[in-house]
Amino acid sequence: MHKSFDLFFVSSNNHKYQEAKIILDSLGINLGFFKSNLEEIQSNSLHNIAMAKARDAFSKFKKPIIIEDDGLFIDSIDGFPGPYSSYVFKTIGNKGILNLLKNNRKANFISIITYCDKTNLQSFEGKLNGKISKTLKGKGWGYDPIFIPNNSVKTFAEMNNKNELSHRFKALKKFSKWYLHK
């Protein structure tokens, strides 16, 4: 039997989809998945990158979609890697980030969820403040083993409740309120 979805998450990253699905299921939205490599413009703005990716995704699939773009912004290195987080992770990884840092380890994670259909293009931002750990902690994906949210001693990778407080959760919660009442 064909399963009906409210909308689709478009990404090449299955981890992001799985997190988004768990979060949106809990908020009453049934999320499907289109695995796709989307065009990613070069920009210093996560918002502009997310808008371009959403337009690209909708043009390919012609169904209501959301995409997510996020970045890790580290204070002591002027917000780097920011919108270049994916590239930096692929090239120098978490160990490279740890090697760049000295004493100021303050950082924040920002997630932009962008929705697109025939008539709407709308973005929702979630931000979580924290810091970068001194060593890799836990087994998680992406920057999870080095990001410690404020008021915690554990990295995302060490947490059981990451999906209840993450930057992605905050952005998806804002999106779901809008989506369910549009």
Active site residues: 69
Q: Which of 159, 143, 77, 73 is nearest to 108 (CA)?
A: 73
Q: Which of 94, 95, 70, 98 is nearest to 84 (CA)?
A: 70
Q: Which of 28, 31, 89, 40 is nearest to 63 (CA)?
A: 31
Q: How many CB atoms lie within 10 A of CB 105?
A: 17
Alpha helix positions (H), 4-119: 14-26, 46-61, 85-91, 93-100
Q: How far apart are CA 40 and CA 85, in angstroms?
A: 12
